[in-house]
Amino acid sequence: MWSYALKRAGATLVTLWAASVIIFAFIHLIPGDPIYVLLGDTATPDQIDRLRHELGLDEPIVVQYLQWAGHALRGDLGQSIFFQAPVTRVIADGAETSILLATMTMVWVVLIGVPIGTIAAVRHGTWLDQGLSGVAMFFASVPTFWVGLYLILIFAATLGWLPSSGYPSIFEGGSGNLRYLLLPSLTLAAPNAALILRLTRASMLDVSREDYVRTARAKGIRPWQVVRRHILRNALLTVVSAFGFTFAALMSEAVVTETVFALPGIGRLVVQSILRRDYPVIQGIILVIVVLYLFINLIVDLAYRFLDPRVELQ
Amino acid sequence: MLSVRDLTVSIGSDAAPVDIVSGVSFDIGKGEILGLVGESGCGKSMTSLAVMGLLPQPGPRIRGGRIELVGADVTTLQPWQRVEAGHGRIAMIFQEPMTSLNPVRRIGDQIAEAVRVHDGLSGAAAWTRARELLEQVRIPDAALQLSAYPHQLSGGQRQRIMIAIALACRPQVLIADEPTTALDVTIQIQILGLLRDLCNRLDMSILFITHDMGVIAQLADRVAVMYGGRIVETADVATLFGEPRHHYTRGLMDCMPVRNLGARRLPTIAGQAPRPGTIRTGCVFAPRCVAAQDVCRTATPPRLALGEGHEALCAFPLDAGRPS
């Protein structure tokens, strides 16, 4: 167990290093220059050179990388060119919204996807299954902004039950502010819950043809217990890995939803930073997302160990 | 204990059903072992699943006939419904011990689950009973193995676990569907011995399904030979092996290796078993039968009573006194 964790940590570091090189290289390949964004069209060549030197952008790219990586190792991701503030602060501000949004979304995804997928599988071939699968197909296909706009139209504009935009921090306004994230999380959950629903259904149908399910039926236990104790647990092995990458993807996929609901999250921050050529912020966010992916993959692998006794961690 | 009458199992639409088991009837008495023998695809597994109430859904269904378990009609009931209704107790073990146990649950849980349903025990009591059952099927270190997972055990041990699960149902009738086919010969002998022993000790009836005439000879009291979805001959084991009357049974015997010692090649029955639904008139065995006459291809053969409990589905049975 511990030697496995160590090996995984080693592999993670190598992946992280490779990712940092790629991130750095690609960002500097984007045409455009942060100096022009900061100073505007009217800057003199003299001003431009001075600012470029102050920001360290006149050094060779290898030197820039080594400086950035060295600082990153110490937890310093540099200064945002646009905000004139530490990148870690800028990211932390956006991360609160994004993490809460992703977590709430995952709660919906699990609460909607798994039970309804189970029902569809148990009643497979009936009109109920076809109806549920049809609805799932619909939500997997429509764009999130469409779902978001309709939710705003119904629950914010018409019924007036929920706020339509923005998110004041729960650290300032208390947990009641979570209601600001209700519609965005449902919006983001729609396609992902649909995916998990279909995956749960397919996986359960696969498992229900297994010999050991027949053994369970032969024991004379009730059909629902066969589903719960024998089919669901084995079917979830497949679904759990999907939970992992869904959660990680939510962090970066939330751009459209954050834009529709005017949320101060990571997704919107990264898009704005790209437009501003704010290299340190872009690098920082991508690095954080890479770390998150690696971390979630590790959690998923460890979770397998608890769900499936055949998995040996070596 | 178990009485099956005119059981017909079909696939396909109701308008054009294809019978994969047609008009099968047999009885098993208390403590008796009935061997159901036939080649792959002859309908023996479908018969056993139908009797157990475990036909896969959607798929084959019982189109006619009646299954009686200790006097109660259980034809359309699934196992849990039989438990609820308090009808006779029946259990089943399967061909593939490697895939018949749930890989993510402990052995003890899987046995205790059946104990809870059938004995109403719970918690520690169910666990204790599970240990007793493991001892009954002669698993060494029973207490230890309760917390093992299936992948930690060998095929033979897993089949013993399957038997323990079946015994947890306190069955009056046990269906064993090719339980030794996937095992080594030495393990096979142990498992057969165990089944014979349990049958005697618990006064349990067994429906034993196999394609292996050798196993039948060792274990069964009576034999039903199945071909093309029908039972073509029934007799007690000595009569069947001594005086087979149906040409198919005769053919099966002639193929046994022990009857062909020293031969370069084993004899075979010419042709192939019919696909379900391809033979609609006459005798299903006629296309492969050495003694077939024109009438065999047009008229359904009679079920001839040839002696005490000896029947054959044949218009021109072999002569009793003249074994070839």
CATH of the domain at A199: 1.10.3720.10
Residues in chain B whose beta carbon is closer than 8 A to a beta carbon of chain A?
52, 54, 56, 58, 78-80, 82-83, 91-92, 94, 96, 99-105, 113-114, 117-118, 149, 151, 162, 165-166, 168-169
- A112-126, A234-248, B143-157: lowest mean pLDDT where? A234-248
pLDDT tens by residue, A125-182: 899 999 999 999 999 899 888 988 899 899 988 888 888 877 877 777 777 778 888 8
Evaluate if residue A1 carries a pLDDT over 70: no
Looking at residues B253-274, what average pLDDT do you find?
82
Report the C-alpha gap between A204 and A122 in whole angstroms. Answer: 8
Residue A239: inside a domain, yes or no? yes
Residue B52: helix, strand or coil by DSSP? helix
* Position B324 confidence tier, pLDDT thresholds 50, 70, 90: very low
**What share of chain B has pLDDT > 70, as a percent?**
98
Residues in chain A whose beta carbon is closer than 8 A to a beta carbon of chain B?
125, 209-212, 214-223, 229-230, 233-234, 237, 307-310
Residues B10 and B17 sit within 8 Å (Cβ to Cβ): yes
What's the confidence (pLDDT) of residue B134?
Answer: 93
What's the confidence (pLDDT) of residue B322?
Answer: 52
Q: Across the interface, do B113 and A219 touch by the CB < 8 Å criterion? A: yes
* Position B164 confidence tier, pLDDT thresholds 50, 70, 90: very high
Residue A221: inside a domain, yes or no? yes
* Position B323 confidence tier, pLDDT thresholds 50, 70, 90: very low
Residue of A124, A207, A212, A226 best to disrupt the B interface, most CBs of B under 10 A: A212
Residue A260: inside a domain, yes or no? yes
pLDDT tens by residue, B165-194: 999 999 999 999 999 888 888 889 999 999
Residue A42: inside a domain, yes or no? no
Total number of domains constituting chain A? 1
Separation in Å, CA A86 to CA A24, A93, A281, A286, B54 = 18, 11, 9, 16, 66
A208 to chain B, minimum CA–CA distance in Å? 10
Q: Across the interface, do A219 and B151 touch by the CB < 8 Å criterion? A: no
Residue A50: inside a domain, yes or no? no
Residues A279 and A28 sit within 8 Å (Cβ to Cβ): yes
Going by their DSSP bridges, the two strands B2-11 and B205-210 should be labelled as: unpaired
B115 to chain A, minimum CA–CA distance in Å? 9
Q: Across the interface, do B80 and A215 touch by the CB < 8 Å criterion? A: no
Q: Which of A125, A212, A307 sits opposite B102 (nearest CB)?
A: A212
Separation in Å, CA A224 to CA A147, A196, A231, B260 = 34, 21, 10, 53
What residues pair up with B92 in beta bridges, in sequence order? B175
Cα A314 to the chain's mean position, in Å? 28
Looking at residues B295-302, what average pLDDT do you find?
88
What's the confidence (pLDDT) of residue B321?
Answer: 53
Q: Which of B80, B83, B99 sits opposite A210 (nearest CB)?
A: B99
A121 to chain B, minimum CA–CA distance in Å? 13
B227 to chain A, minimum CA–CA distance in Å? 25
Sorted by where each starts, the structural domains of chain B and their CATH numbers stand as 1-89+174-266 (3.40.50.300), 101-170 (no CATH)
What's the confidence (pLDDT) of residue B150?
Answer: 93
Most confident of A240-249, B142-151, B315-324: B142-151
* Position B266 confidence tier, pLDDT thresholds 50, 70, 90: confident
B114 to chain A, minimum CA–CA distance in Å? 5
Q: Across the interface, do B54 and A218 touch by the CB < 8 Å criterion? A: yes
What's the confidence (pLDDT) of residue A241?
Answer: 83
End-to-end CA distance of chain B: 37
- ipTM of the complex model: 0.89
Q: Give contacts of A209 with chain B, Cβ < 8 Å.
A: 56
Residue A3: inside a domain, yes or no? no
B171 to chain A, minimum CA–CA distance in Å? 11
Q: Across the interface, do A220 and B169 touch by the CB < 8 Å criterion? A: yes
Q: Across the interface, do B151 and A309 touch by the CB < 8 Å criterion? A: yes
Backbone φ, ψ for residue A7 (5° rounding): -60, -45
Q: Mean of the per-residue pLDDT values for chain A? A: 86
Interface contacts A/B by beta carbons within 8 Å: 77
Q: Mean of the per-residue pLDDT values for chain B? A: 90
Residue A314: inside a domain, yes or no? no
Q: Give contacts of B58 with chain A, Cβ < 8 Å.
A: 125
Q: Which residue is listed with tokens 């308090």?
A: B86
Q: Which domain holds residue A176?
A: 93-278
Report the C-alpha gap between A282 and A53 in whole angstroms. Answer: 20
Residue A200: inside a domain, yes or no? yes
What's the confidence (pLDDT) of residue A162?
Answer: 84
Q: Across the interface, do A217 and B54 touch by the CB < 8 Å criterion? A: yes
Cα B35 to the chain's mean position, in Å? 7
Q: Give contacts of A235 with chain B, Cβ < 8 Å.
A: none
Report the C-alpha gap between B142 and B130 in whole angstroms. Answer: 9
Q: Whole-model pTM above 0.95? A: no
Q: Across the interface, do A220 and B99 touch by the CB < 8 Å criterion? A: no
pLDDT tens by residue, B203-257: 999 999 999 888 999 899 999 999 999 999 999 999 999 889 999 999 888 888 8
Q: Which of B101, B104, B162 sits opposite A233 (nearest CB)?
A: B104
